[in-house]
Structure formats: structure tokens, C-alpha cells
Structure 1
């Protein structure tokens, strides 16, 4: 008998069968650990609905646990399933523990959330040739996540890492820099640009580009020597008619002809170029490195090279005039290419296309495109009965990624039920260089022009108790390094255990969002402790190496025996009282992938 492979029309019947199963209980109540003797742990409802999609759409990333479940077989197979051996799970509770101690014992995820609040900081790993991920160590590589002691107890607004230098913005908006690219004599992060109330940053090959809360863009040398020897900027004092020179050299990059209430709202940088997006949806580009002037079309200005640049500073911003009339909502930059997403869900790409990173095949005439070109996203869903809208764009190295909401529409000859119309499927697509597995599609491809779907991160669903419906699981964020990628899932999280808006049950535990990693791993930048590259998304262990005692991903060990594996889950934003300081603040963990390095930090 051929393997069962239901089509899309079978999905509603499958979900209905799951929902009507007598084994179903409340999602939250079934996450709790049953402690009485003779009780088995119930399967979470969302995990069972997830199993439906394992049959329909391939591998699914479970929000909490994976389970083998015979319901699909019994509902559709010709023969009844084989008897299932029932095993009684032993209690993980211990006598004499408090409610909070019991939560830590039964749940690895709860312990991770608690530690992230009690001990905020930065974990980093990967290449340490520039003393960035471990400034106080001479080790060339850091195989698994390790805390940078300097950041213990600190919250950051942003952080970006290269293998040679790192930069971060403190909670009060000052810039920190470190690494051999900054100074071989300074082994710890050092404050450089102060008092500018910076809110975000990006880095090029040799400069730090930072955005102030007032919309000012600052370009700061990556090297300490250049900061000290370069031209200092005259700054105004709070005392009238008094000015002084800045302590470090930097440049202000100010787009021309901004409207009265228009200001810069976001920036993104490649190796040599900078994208500047204003609150009015206008896009500007500028040179961002002192080593090379952009020459691969990544600035989106046809014919603009070093010899044809206009009079004035070499790094002056230029408006991408061909995008006038399109209200740009988001930007992303790879090493030598650029992406722009407008409010209608259309994506424009320009720059280097030697690996197909612009979302279409390269041509023999030229390896780059110097004017924004519309990516034909609609062709990816031709004859599928789905209407796609791009929701997010990401880029890094020689790769581009797109998240798409595809809604079911009526079409001639379709037998789709009226109830299915408008149902949204969330997909993730990638293009560019995949020889190290960076595409995440299970293949090792040199050049990928037409975007390819990441099946592991597409068509994922879970059950929403608040609406009693099945909803798509989207990506919350995606960070693209030079050769590797990390994706944070926007799955259901819970951070209210033991509080007034949660429950006071000793079995009510917190859990965060799932994080998966893939791509090049030659310097252990994925963080799993191994050196082999990954072409499909996978988990890593908890950052602190501890697993508590609780549930995790069910995997398989040698000989086919089952074992529990505890995976890293990232803590979502929540207002907490930080351990040690007694200060209440809204904080979350974030992921950053850089050039052969990675980090997770506590962000405000």
C-alpha cells in the first residue's frame, strides 16, 4: 500500500478528527506535569494538530514536544493500527520543594526563562580570531555559547558582531566597541561615542553605522586609531554660543531635502554600502566603508561609481529615485546587494546577483543589477490557488530571505470549500548561495536564483485557544550572517507562571519561542559544538548548558531508543524585576548572526 499523503482538502477533516478526539484537553492544562502515581502525561492539543501537518506539509517544528500519534492512521488507513504500549511516566516532583523549585525541576524551558531574567547578558560563539566573542581568551574558536563577562547584568539596545570587531549600544544609548579590529591593546568593550541617544546600529567592512533616536545617522571608524587621528566634529554645548570638538572622529550622514516631519527610521549596511529608510517611505543609499566605493549596483543608482560620483563627500546619501511613488516599509542588505519591501508587499532588489541573491537568475551580460528590479513573487504561487503577499525581508552575505502570507482564493474549476477561502499559509523562501547549506532547503547549491521554499519553516500551524481556531506559525525574526542563519519562531509562548495573570499552580511553567539554526559551521558559529554544515534548520542546546529536569524535543539515540533532548528557547519580551538590581524593566532575548560569529543578548 502506498504511503498516505493527504492533499490540502483533507486537512479540515484531519483537524476535525483531532479536535473531536476524546484525548483532547485544554492546551495549557496538558502542559502541566501530572504528578500522581498511575497518571500519564496528556498530549498537548497543539502538538496533535501539528501532527496533521507532518503528513501534509513535511517536517514541522513543534511548539513544545514532538509525539508519535496513531490518530491519522486509524482515521484513514485500511487496517487498524497496531496496539500501542502504554508507559507510565514517573513523576519528576520531589518532596519538600517550593512551587517555583518544582517548576524548575519539571521544565527545562521554565528554567531557561528564569535564568534569562535573573542573569541578563550576552552569550557569543564562533570565530575568535579577532577576540570578539571571547575578548579575554586567546582561543581561536568558541564552540558553544559562552557568556562575555563584561556584559553580565547589562541590557543592550542593539549589538552587531564581525569576526574582527564588535559594537553594541548600551541601555542609555552609548556606543561600545571592542575586538582586534578596534584595538589589539584593548581587551574589553570600551565606550566611544557617548551622549547621542543611539537606538540601533549596523556595521560595514570597517565602520560602525548608528542611528540616533532623533533620526541622525552617525558613521564611526571601526578602529580606535582612526577615531583618535581623524577629524573631530564641532559640537554645540548646552551653554549658549559655546562649542567644543568631539572626543572621537565621526561623520553625520544626512539625506537632503527631507520634509519638515520626515526623519530616518531605520538603516541597514552591507560590506560597502548603507541603506537609509525615512519615515515617509523614501529610500536613500550611501557609501559605508573607507576601503572601497560601492561598484556592484548595490546603491540602486544606475551608473554611479567612484569616477562618476557627484561633488561633495564620498559618503553623501543619494535618493533611489526609481522607487519614488512606492512607499517603502522595510529594508535589508547583504554584503553587496539590497532589498526593499513596500507597503503593498512588493519586493525590489538591486546589486550583486552572481549567486542569484536578487531572487532571479543571473545573466551572462552582467553579474549585477544597478537599478531596483521587482522580484516576481507571484510566479512562485502560479496555479496554486494562493495569493502571496511578502511580509518580511532579510539579507546577509550572498543570500536573501522572504516570509510570505499566502491566502486561499477562489479560482475557476476549483473545488475549494467556502470555509477555506481566505485561510492563510505562512511560508519562508530563500535565494542566493547555498553551497554551505545557507538556503536552508536541504540542498547544497552554488547558485539559486528562483527563490526556493524552506519546507521546515513553511505551512506550520498551531491551535489558538483564545479563538478556538488553527492559526499559522510565522517567523518573528531572522538574522542572516555571512554564511549562517538563525530564525526565531512566532509560536505561542507563556511567561506568566506564578503571577496574577497566570496561575499559581506548581505545574504551570513558562516557555519561550523556538529558535533554529542552519548554514555554514566551519567556525562553530551555529553553536551546536560540531563543525559540520547544516542544510536544514536545527536546534541547539540551552545557552547555559543546563537542562533542568523537564520536557524537551523527543529525539532518537543509537539503537532506536528514545531520549529527551533539551533545546534552547528564547525568552520573549516581558516586564520583569531583574535579578540583583530590583529594577522593573521590559526585556527580551534577541539573536544576532554576524560574519562567522553568533550571539544572544538581553535587549530593551
Structure 2
């Protein structure tokens, strides 16, 4: 115990500080029991962590051992190989296998070219053996006049035309017509004569150049620009009125051996093109004037397809029922192309404008009929082509051709990209991107009308298509031209439209000089143009050998499959080899099988359930 004097020597502030320090030390210092408990807890946690560590090390050791054993097994027991890259296999272990050469040591250059390329063989075959291949419905004895088969599923030659060149050919289900190399008319089929088994030459000496068919008559255009209307039936040709014809002998004339009618437009101009539907026909003159006429003796056009408002059988002017009428609505427009469907018409002028009229029940005129009104349009109407390329793509559309058949219409378009006049809300980068490729031309093909059997070729089955829709596989395609070192668009060379199906010949780059060019090597071959088919196939008119319709363009096997099989076997040592697709031969001057050297090409024609490919002059 401190003495009184000692207490007095300790200042008050120091005592206060000591008291606070003692209090804090007592409050924060754990008791002995607490300290012992905390120490025991810490040691327990440490032991658990140590046990977990031992277990982890043990698991890793086991996994490593298993991996080592697996690698040892995979490497056939050689653990040392794990640490070294494997040596490359010897060449003899996995040798490269090359296809054996199709050339033959003792064969000629041309024989080797045939074996190298199916396309070369097809081109050569079309020159050596010109003629007509046909397929589809044969109920009318058209595609195989000497056969009683109801359908011909794949291309078959018509023997009558072997070795012949034709100026034109048109086929219906029940009758066919062709123009031979001299300009004479040839007819066949049960609608011509029920017992006929071979084509017959009927109208001679008119120097005909092209044909078109109606329901029951043939319209033929001569080189002089005259139009003849000939009845299909041989009986009508014999019993009908036969016009008087002049003779090469002065002041001498005689009756024609068959009946026919002359179609004279009220103009001194020469008719240069004709097209017909079931009941009507269009006649185009050299100056671009357009006339329409009735083309069938069975029924007068009644769905506006003549393009003359108010013209019916009862209101027609006096004179022959098939007298031509100028379509005065189109005066001032120079027409260059015409096309007829069953009951509708199309015309294209020099400025790329398209006019349509007639039946629009399937949208084949290219626009919607006004709600509540008839689907018949009896005057030419301008097709709204500015809607072909909607959106931000700045392209100007130039219509280059029109085609029609059945309840369908088609047109080919050259679309050229033009520069945007202003960027608007676009950034500089987006504006430059939008103007990239200015001046580039894209070739497109559009279809409209009925599509229920695949006629639109757009991978859809559509009942009515009144807005022209692009055919994807025939639009926006390009190829590289080695001659100009540029990429060029692939256009359509020709489109033939039947009642429910169609065929397109592409204007792709071809080579027909492999055998004649001095710059050709022994490996150079000929190749022709691509050709595709689509639409209805109810009578095997697509030539695929199957009956199913096709809503997208498809290729065929080579026309002369037997000759192609023989070629394939020769080129593969007797083994079967896959055949290439059918390539149609474009125009060229060639030596025929009979030794003649002429200008010739293969052409395609689609009719009513039938199709033909022929050698044209």
C-alpha cells in the first residue's frame, strides 16, 4: 500500500491514463479457457487441411499412374515414345492413288478427247448425227410416231428426222409441225391423221422460216414476211378452200394441193415475228407495229388477249374472222419482242417497257387485278418494272426479253448498279460501301403467273403469283472469261415455255474450236451451253425419267445415253463411269455426218406435255 506521500507524487492525468489502459487490456485479453479453446480449434483445422492435401496427392498419383499405363498400352509398351515425335510413315505405307489416264496409246486425238470429256463427245455427236430427240406424252403419237407407248420417259430420237436440219419445230400433245431445211411444212400426230405413223410433208414451196401453234391451226411465217394459217387436220386440208397459186410459168396458176388461209395485216410492212396462244396470235412488223388476230377456227378470243377493247365475235368488223387488227394503244411504241400464253399477251419495246394484256386469273400479267372486278384486261397495260428491285439497292432495270406459255410469263433483266445521289443519313463509310460496284451489271430472270406445278422455278408451289419473282438459280450468276480476264454475267440465250413446264438455255462461255483451232492442245475439248428444265412433269415432259414435278431448274443426262455409256466404258476400261449432264450445242459451222459443212445449232422446244431438242439451221 502506497504511503500518503507517494500517492501525492503521482499526477492525476497519469493515473487516469493508467486506468484506461488497464481497462482496455482487460477487455481485449481473452481468458485462459478461451485461449486454450482457440488453440485447439486452430490445430484441428491444420490437421484437416493436411489430411486433404495428402488425399489430393494420393489421387493425383493414382491418375498419373493410370495415364502412364494407358499410354504404355497405346504405344505397344514403349514408354520411351512418349517423349519423342513419331517418325513419318514410309511412302510405301500409304501411297497416293491417282486416277488412271483416260487416254489410250493407240487412239487418235479425237478419240482421246471423247474419252476425256463427255461434253466433247456430246458436241461431236450433235454434229455427226443431227436429228430430233423427243419425250413426254405420246397419246397423240407425237414424240414417238411409230410407237403405241403412252409416254416416253427419257429423250428418244424420231427416226424420220435422222440426219435432217430443221428451221423450226413446234409440238402439241396431239400434233406436231416442223419446217425442213428447204422451208417446207411437215406434220404428224393423230390430230393430223389418226392412222399416221410417220411425219408427212404438206405445204411446199413457201420458204417458211418459223411456226406457232393454236388450238387447231398452224401459223407459219415465210422468209418474205407472209403469214399462212393451215388447218391441223389432213381431212380439213383436203376438204377446205384451196387458194389459187401462181406458177413459175408466166400467166399460169393452179389450186393449192391443201387448204390454207393468208393472213394480211393492213400494212405494206413485212411481218418479222409471230406468236400464238390457243385462240389468238400476235404479228410484229419490221417497223415495230403490232397486230393481233384470231388463230383458231373453233373459238374466237374472248379474254381480252387481242388487246382491242370491246372486240368480240359479235362486234368484230365485217370480213374474215381472222383478219388482223392493229393494237392502236401501242402506236408510238416500237415493239421488239412478243410472247403469247394460252390466253394472254406480252410485248417489249425498244425502251425496255413491258406491256401485258388478256387473262390475269393466275397473275400472268404481272400485277393484281382490281378487287371486285374481272381478271380480264382487254388493253395493253404497262408492267410496273420499277418495283423489281425495291429497298436501298440502287439498280436500274433494263428488260431484255419476254417469254410466255400456258398461264405463265417470264422476262430477262439486266440490272445495272448506279451511284446514290446523296448519302442521306448514311455515314461516309456506309455511303462508300453502298456505292461499291457502281456500273456492274447483273443478269436476272423473273417469273409470274401460275406456280402450282413448279412453273415459277423459285422452289415454291404457288397458285397465283401476280408480282414478278426472281428465279434464284437463273439470276445473279457470273463466270470468268479467260479471253478478257474479266468476270461476266451469265444471261439466258433462250427460254422455251410449254403449257406447264419450261426449259432455259444459258448463254455461258462455250468452246467449239478444240478440233479446229491451231492453238489447241491434245487436252483441249469442246463444251456446249448449260440447259435446265422445270415445272410440270405429269407426262414425263421434263425428261428426268420420273413423274414428279420440279419447282427448281434441273439438269438432264445426255440425250444419247446409249452412246454415252459406251464412251464411258471405253474411257474406264469397261467399267461403268458417271455421265456428265446434257449440254446443248450452240451455233457453229461444223461438218455433218454426210460431209456437208453448214451452220448448225441445237434448240429446245417445250409444248403441251411434250418436249423436243432438234438440230436447227
Is TM-score (shorter-chain normalized) higher than 0.5? yes
Offset of 1:133 from its aligned partner? 0.3
Residues in 1 aligned to 2:134 and 2:600: alpha-carbon distance in whole angstroms: 19
Offset of 1:549 from its aligned partner? 8.7
1:298-336 Cα shifts (integer Å, max 9, x gaps): 010001111110100000000000000000000000000
Q: Which residue does the alignment assign to 1:543?
A: 559
Residues in 2 aligned to 1:410 and 1:550: alpha-carbon distance in whole angstroms: 53
Residues in 2 aligned to 1:168 and 1:501: alpha-carbon distance in whole angstroms: 38
Offset of 1:129 from its aligned partner? 0.3
Task: Work out which of the residue numbers 577, 585, 608 in structure 2 matches 1:595.
Answer: 608
Offset of 1:464 from its aligned partner? 1.2
1:453 aligns with 2:460: no
Does the 8 Å contact 2:558/2:581 carry over to 1? yes
Q: Which residue does the alignment assign to 1:310?
A: 317
Within a 5 Å distance, the mapping from 1:193-272 to structure 2 comes to: 193-258=203-268, 262-272=269-279
1:428 aligns with 2:445: yes
Within a 5 Å distance, the mapping from 1:170-189 to structure 2 comes to: 170-189=180-199
Offset of 1:185 from its aligned partner? 2.0
Residues in 2 aligned to 1:204 and 1:197: alpha-carbon distance in whole angstroms: 21
1:357 aligns with 2:347: no
Residues in 2 aligned to 1:228 and 1:575: alpha-carbon distance in whole angstroms: 40
Offset of 1:87 from its aligned partner? 7.0
1:33-75 Cα shifts (integer Å, max 9, x gaps): xxxxxxxxxxxxxxxxxxxxxxxxxxxxxxxxxxxxxxxxxxx
Task: Work out which of the residue numbers 482, 494, 498 in structure 1 matches 2:515.
Answer: 498
Offset of 1:496 from its aligned partner? 0.6
Offset of 1:502 from its aligned partner? 4.8
Structure label with greater radius of gyration: 2
1:103 aligns with 2:113: yes
Offset of 1:417 from its aligned partner? 7.2
Task: Work out which of the residue numbers 516, 529, 532 in structure 1 matches 2:548.
Answer: 532
- Per the alignment, do residues 87 and 482 of structure 1 end up closer, same or farther by CA in structure 2, a change over 3 Å counting? farther
- Per the alignment, do residues 86 and 210 of structure 1 end up closer, same or farther by CA in structure 2, a change over 3 Å counting? farther
Residues in 1 aligned to 2:383 and 2:96: alpha-carbon distance in whole angstroms: 53
Q: Which residue does the alignment assign to 1:520?
A: 536
Residues in 1 aligned to 2:411 and 2:212: alpha-carbon distance in whole angstroms: 20
Residues in 1 aligned to 2:398 and 2:313: alpha-carbon distance in whole angstroms: 37
Residues in 2 aligned to 1:147 and 1:316: alpha-carbon distance in whole angstroms: 39
Q: Which residue does the alignment assign to 2:78?
A: none
Farther off after superposition, 584-593 or 96-105: 96-105
Within a 5 Å distance, the mapping from 1:122-141 to structure 2 comes to: 122-141=132-151
Residues in 1 aligned to 2:342 and 2:303: alpha-carbon distance in whole angstroms: 10
Number of matched pairs: 504
1:286 aligns with 2:293: yes
Q: Which residue does the alignment assign to 1:407?
A: 416
- Per the alignment, do residues 502 and 221 of structure 1 end up closer, same or farther by CA in structure 2, a change over 3 Å counting? farther
1:553-583 Cα shifts (integer Å, max 9, x gaps): xxxxxxxxxx94520000011111111x211
TM-score by length of 2: 0.80
1:586 aligns with 2:594: no
Residues in 2 aligned to 1:313 and 1:416: alpha-carbon distance in whole angstroms: 62
Residues in 2 aligned to 1:352 and 1:417: alpha-carbon distance in whole angstroms: 40
Q: Which residue does the alignment assign to 2:381?
A: 373
- Per the alignment, do residues 441 and 226 of structure 1 end up closer, same or farther by CA in structure 2, a change over 3 Å counting? same
Offset of 1:88 from its aligned partner? 3.8
Task: Work out which of the residue numbers 391, 394, 397 in structure 1 matches 2:406.
Answer: 397
Residues in 2 aligned to 1:491 and 1:306: alpha-carbon distance in whole angstroms: 47
Offset of 1:89 from its aligned partner? 3.7
Q: Which residue does the alignment assign to 1:573?
A: 587
Determine helix, strand or coil for the equivalent of 1:366: coil
Offset of 1:241 from its aligned partner? 2.1
Residues in 1 aligned to 2:107 and 2:369: alpha-carbon distance in whole angstroms: 63
Q: Which residue does the alignment assign to 1:441?
A: 458
1:323-353 Cα shifts (integer Å, max 9, x gaps): 0000000000000000000011110000000
Does the 8 Å contact 2:184/2:201 carry over to 1? yes
- Per the alignment, do residues 86 and 433 of structure 1 end up closer, same or farther by CA in structure 2, a change over 3 Å counting? farther
Offset of 1:419 from its aligned partner? 6.6
TM-score by length of 1: 0.82
Question: RCO higher in 1 or 2 (8 Å CA, sep ≥ 6)?
Answer: 1
Q: Which residue does the alignment assign to 2:10?
A: none
Residues in 2 aligned to 1:96 and 1:119: alpha-carbon distance in whole angstroms: 25
Determine helix, strand or coil for the equivalent of 2:510: coil
Residues in 2 aligned to 1:434 and 1:419: alpha-carbon distance in whole angstroms: 36
Determine helix, strand or coil for the equivalent of 2:388: helix
- Per the alignment, do residues 197 and 519 of structure 1 end up closer, same or farther by CA in structure 2, a change over 3 Å counting? same
- Per the alignment, do residues 488 and 501 of structure 1 end up closer, same or farther by CA in structure 2, a change over 3 Å counting? farther
Q: Which residue does the alignment assign to 2:307?
A: 300
Offset of 1:416 from its aligned partner? 4.4
- Per the alignment, do residues 549 and 392 of structure 1 end up closer, same or farther by CA in structure 2, a change over 3 Å counting? farther
Q: Which residue does the alignment assign to 2:493?
A: 476
Offset of 1:418 from its aligned partner? 6.4
Residues in 2 aligned to 1:339 and 1:461: alpha-carbon distance in whole angstroms: 28
Structure 1 gap ranges (5+) = 1-84, 552-562
Offset of 1:91 from its aligned partner? 2.1
CA RMSD of aligned residues (A): 1.6
Farther off after superposition, 565-574 or 518-527: 565-574
Residues in 2 aligned to 1:501 and 1:419: alpha-carbon distance in whole angstroms: 41
1:490-525 Cα shifts (integer Å, max 9, x gaps): 00101111213551x221111100000000001000
Higher helix share: 2
Determine helix, strand or coil for the equivalent of 2:124: helix
Offset of 1:386 from its aligned partner? 0.6
